[in-house]
Every structure is written in C-alpha cells, then in structure tokens.
C-alpha cells in the first residue's frame, strides 16, 4: 500500500466531483428548494418555510399517492419474492439446459422499461390481446377484460412490474444459494427430512440475510419506481388510479411546474423511506435476538 495521499485524492477527484456535484449537491439543494415557491423554469423564488409540507398534510392527492405507492411496492415486492425465490431454487438444481435458462430468465430485467410496458400493453390489449383471447377460450371470462381501464390498471401494472423485476431476486438469491455447503443438505437427507423441511431448516436459515437485503432493496426501488408506472398510463385519464408518490412528485414539478412543491414531495419520499428502513432494521434485529 502506497502512502502517497495526494495521488490517491487526485485519482478519486473526478469521481468525487461528479458524485458531489450531481448527487450530493442536488440532495441538499432539494431540501433548500422545498422551502420555496419556485416555478420549474423561472428564476424567481419566494421563501415560504414549511408551507408546502403543511399543504401536503391535508392534500388528498398526496395521501392517495402514498396509498397507491405503498400498495404497489408491497404487492409487487411479495410476488417478486415468491416467484424469484422459487425460480432460484429451481435453477440451483442440476438439470440439462440449466445454464441457458439462467441466462434467459434475466432478459425481462435487462430490456428497457419502455419495451416491457408496450409488450404488456399489447398482451393485455382489450380487443386483440393474447391474454383476453386465452381467458375467453378457456371460458374463464365471458366478455373481454378491460385490463388497461381504471378497474384493472393497478393489477396490470403489478403484473408488468413483477415480470420485469423478479429476475433481480433470482440472481441475488441464487448467488447465495450456491454458497450453501452441500453437506448440510446431505445431513438433512440422512435424517430423513423432506424437501420442504430441508428448505425450512437448511435453506431458509442460511439465506436469511440475503432475503433481508432483497426485501429492503426491492421495497425501496419499487416505492421510488417512476418509469414503469408513468409509462403504463402517462397522464391519461386512468393514470390517477396508479398515481404513486414518484409520479405525483414528477407531475407537481414538470406538469404543474411547481418545483418547490415537487422538491417537498421528494423530501417526504426520502423521509418515509428512512423511517420505514429504520423500523425494518429494528424488527430484524429483534427477530435476530429472539432466534
């Protein structure tokens, strides 16, 4: 290890300049901005203190966006987790074609969001979509379902999002599964444990930490997801049935051009995530102490 501090700093300088200038500074500026009334383009601004925050406390649109955001994040997270863990367990077994499948399963996660969304809008199209066709043929519905109408737009958004993001769970969980020593399973098998019991008593305890991280990251990333939600309905008529907090913050800033209010929403979003993360860590620690 060399002790030439100056060279070390110089090598890091471009990174620090970019991260400091384009992430850290905007974070602080955002806090500051949330105390002002400011148009998104015009330079004029006036100090209003905590007025935006007081406004949102009784703003029905804000509370509905929190509600939709929590529902969206929680439901998509649970389905991604179940589907992702099941797929990872499968891909951890030995069978022919496994490596190919490990690659293919990643595709939904790698393609651009715009592709995932137009693809599912086509599959879920009410008149010509394949999903409605199959449902009708199977006799499960009598008339085509308006998947992208106001009643089903949230389920459709959830289906699209789960499909798009479950591969993250697969890869992360699989990486951990592969490090569990096979002897543990051998021992359990000798003891006559069924596959379900082996999962419960060997796999689950060994993967607790990675599950903790997956749940945390996926919840945060789904709660702050903008593009999938926005692209699903744009600012069309049904958009208000899936208007989550990030979309509301975007609309305040770039549709109503109220940059100060948008900034306040971003601060509130961050505050909620921080509080939820704190509670989550505490729960996990208590759980850890008990077991």
**Residue 22 is a binding residue for another protein (CB under 8 A):** yes
Tell which residue, 148, 107, 132, has the closest CA to residue 232: 148
Closest by alpha carbon to 184, among 201, 208, 162?
Answer: 201
Q: How far apart are CA 142 and CA 190, in angstroms?
A: 52
How far is 124 from 265, CA to CA, in rounded Å? 32
* End-to-end Cα, the chain, rounded Å: 42
Give the number of C-alpha atoms closer than 13 A to the C-alpha of residue 110, restricted to the C-beta side.
6
What is the spatial distance between Cα 42 and Cα 83, in angstroms, rounded to a whole number? 47
Read off the tokens for 55: 């406004």
172 binds another protein (CB under 8 A): yes
Closest distance between another protein and the C-beta of residue 291, in Å?
25
Dihedral over Cα of 185, 186, 188, 192: its sign: positive
Subset of residues 41 to 80 that bind another protein, contact rule: CB under 8 A:
41
4 binds another protein (CB under 8 A): yes
* Stretch 90-109: interaction string toward another protein, x if CB under 8 A: xx-x-x-xx--xxxxxxxxx
Pick the piece of the chain touching another protein (CB under 8 A) from 120-128, 141-149, 186-194, 196-204.
Answer: 120-128
Query: In whole angstroms, what is the distance from residue 211 CA to residue 257 CA?
Result: 40
Least distance from another protein to the Cβ atom of residue 230, Å = 8
- Structure tokens that stand for 218 in this block: 């996926």
Q: Is 192 in the site for another protein (CB under 8 A)?
A: no
- Our finding on whether 167 is near another protein (CB under 8 A) is yes
Q: Which of residues 122-161 bind another protein (CB under 8 A)?
A: 122-123, 125, 127-128, 130, 133, 137
The least CB distance from residue 200 to another protein, in Å, is 19
Please give the residues from 220 up to 279 whose contact with another protein meets the rule CB under 8 A. Answer: 220-221, 224, 226-227, 230-231, 234, 246, 249-250, 253-254, 259, 262-263, 266, 269-270
Kindly tell me which of 1 and 190 has the beta carbon lying closer to another protein: 1
């Amino acid at each position: 290890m060399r002790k030439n501090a100056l060279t070390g700093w110089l090598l890091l300088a471009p990174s620090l300049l970019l991260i400091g200038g384009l992430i850290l500074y905007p974070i602080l500026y955002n806090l500051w901005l949330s105390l002002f009334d400011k148009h998104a383009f015009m330079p004029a601004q006036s100090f209003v203190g905590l007025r935006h925050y007081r406004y949102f406390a009784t703003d029905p649109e804000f509370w509905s966006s929190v509600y939709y955001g929590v529902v969206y994040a929680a439901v998509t997270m649970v389905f991604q987790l179940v589907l992702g863990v099941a797929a990872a367990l499968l891909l951890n077994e030995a069978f022919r074609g496994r490596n190919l499948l490990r690659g293919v399963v990643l595709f939904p996660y790698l393609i651009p969001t715009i592709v995932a969304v137009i693809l599912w809008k086509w599959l879920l199209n009410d008149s010509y979509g394949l999903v409605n066709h199959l449902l009708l043929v199977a006799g499960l519905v009598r008339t085509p379902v308006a998947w992208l109408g106001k009643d089903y737009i949230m389920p459709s958004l959830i289906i699209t999002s789960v499909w798009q993001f479950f591969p993250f769970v697969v890869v992360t969980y699989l990486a951990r599964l592969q490090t569990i020593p096979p002897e543990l399973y051998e021992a359990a098998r000798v003891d006559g444990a069924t596959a379900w019991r082996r999962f419960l008593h060997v796999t689950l305890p060994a993967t607790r930490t990675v599950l903790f991280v997956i749940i945390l990251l996926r919840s945060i990333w789904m709660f702050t997801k903008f593009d999938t939600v926005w692209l699903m309905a744009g600012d069309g008529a049904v958009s208000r049935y899936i208007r989550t907090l990030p979309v509301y913050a975007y609309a305040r800033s770039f549709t109503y051009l109220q940059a100060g209010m948008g900034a306040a929403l971003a601060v509130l979003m961050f505050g909620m995530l921080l509080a939820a993360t704190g509670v989550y860590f505490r729960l996990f620690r208590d759980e850890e102490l008990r077991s």
